[in-house]
Each structure stands twice: as structure tokens, then as C-alpha cells.
Structure 1
Amino acid sequence: MGAALTRYRVVANIVGAVLIVLVVVGMPLKYIWDNPVIVETIGPAHGFLYMVFLLAAFDLGRRAHWPLSRMVLVMLAGTVPFVSFYAERTVTRQARQPDPQPVAG
């Protein structure tokens, strides 16, 4: 599961950073100053990277045996600026926790 977690972390951080640039810089440029160059350039790249993010999150969720609801929430975190970073840290922390050992009895 370590490689899946690493792939997820890398892609989640890239998608989060690109989304912030798109929303914080690109959208104001397009809708306030009528300059769509950043949205036209970064928008398609973000769409492609988001699909890669969905695959990485699905792969990690499958390997970690997440319920479908958690998998969907993690995937949706990539659509809200700054939330993807929080979700990535939360997922990483939980994935790195050791599994409780069963008590022999």
C-alpha cells in the first residue's frame, strides 16, 4: 500500500496546487479582466490531472479497504481549493497508523 499512498500524495498535492492557481489567479483574470489565457491553459491540464487523481484515490481506497462513502469523499476533496491538502494529510496520517494487533485469548 506504500506505493499507492505515495502516488496519491503526489497527485493530490499537484491537483491541489493547480486548482488554487486556476481559481485564485485564472478565474479573476478571466471574469474580471477578460483575460482567459490561464484558464484556457491550466484548465485542461487540471481536468486531466484530476482524472489521474481519481485513479490514484480509487487505487489507494481499494488497497486500504475503504468503504465507498469514504472513497467518494476523498475524491470530492480534489474539487475544493485547499481541501485537497487537508484530505491528503488526513489520509496519510490514517494510512500510516499501525493496525491494532488482535488480542490472543
Structure 2
Amino acid sequence: MTAPQSPAPITPVETIRKALTGYRVLAWATGIWLIALCYEMVMKYAFQDDSLGWIAVVHGWVYFVYLLFTANLAVKVRWPIAKTVGILLAGTIPLVGIIVEHFQTQNIKEQFGL
């Protein structure tokens, strides 16, 4: 009788640490650019100042990279799909992405001993 095969190997802790660092940096960058985007929207619609339109483009690209880094971390720490989607959407609400990053970082550090 053969022994049952073990599940897929666990992701090395150093790989998780790198993915977590990238996620943290992009969560903060996305949060800061989202605040800048809110400022740009106020200037555009309240004061008819279109000179800051480039902020929306930068924020869009930063958010896209945030999605990639968050998905990378989610795969490595094996988050359920619903949790992953929730964390991805947290980057669309000012300051929520930064708050979620704080609590997820605490959870991951505790779970994996980082």
C-alpha cells in the first residue's frame, strides 16, 4: 500500500515576505494616488480646473499594478477568492486600502511567522 501523496508544497516564507512587501508598497501608493484623484475631481468639478487630469492616468496605472501584486500575494498565501476580491476592491475607496493592508499584514505575519 502506498502512502497518500502530500498536497502541493507550501510557498517558501521568503517568497511570501517579498510578495507581502510588494503588496504593502502598492497598497500605500494606491491609497495616496486615490486621495490625489479625489483632490483632482474636486478641482475639476468645483473649480473647473482641468490642469490635473494626469492624476487619473497615474492612479489608474498604479491601481492596475496593485491588482497584480495583490493577486500574487493571494495566490502565495492561498486566500479564498471572496477575500481576494474584497481586498482588490478595497483599493477603490480612499484610505480603506491602507487600513485593510494594515490588518492583512498583521494576519500574514502572525500566520507565517514573518
One-letter identity of the residue aligned with 1:56: F
The equivalent residue for 1:60 is: 73
85, 89, 96: which one aligns with 1:83: 96
Higher helix share: 1
Tell me how large the CA RMSD over aligned residues is.
Answer: 1.3
Cα distance between partner residues in 2 of 1:43 and 1:66: 30
Cα distance between partner residues in 1 of 2:32 and 2:54: 15
Larger gyration radius, structure 1 or structure 2: 2
List runs of 5+ in structure 1 lacking aligned partners: 100-105
* 1:2 has 2:37 as partner: no
Moved over 3 A (4+): none
Normalised by the size of structure 2, how large is the TM-score?
0.82
Q: String of CA shifts for 1:27-58, please: whole Å, max 9, x gaps.
A: 110001100222x1110011111110000000
**Number of aligned residue pairs:** 98
Cα distance between partner residues in 1 of 2:40 and 2:25: 23
Cα distance between partner residues in 2 of 1:43 and 1:8: 21
Percent identity, aligned pairs only, is 34
The equivalent residue for 2:35 is: 20
Cα distance between partner residues in 2 of 1:44 and 1:98: 36
Cα distance between partner residues in 1 of 2:89 and 2:78: 18
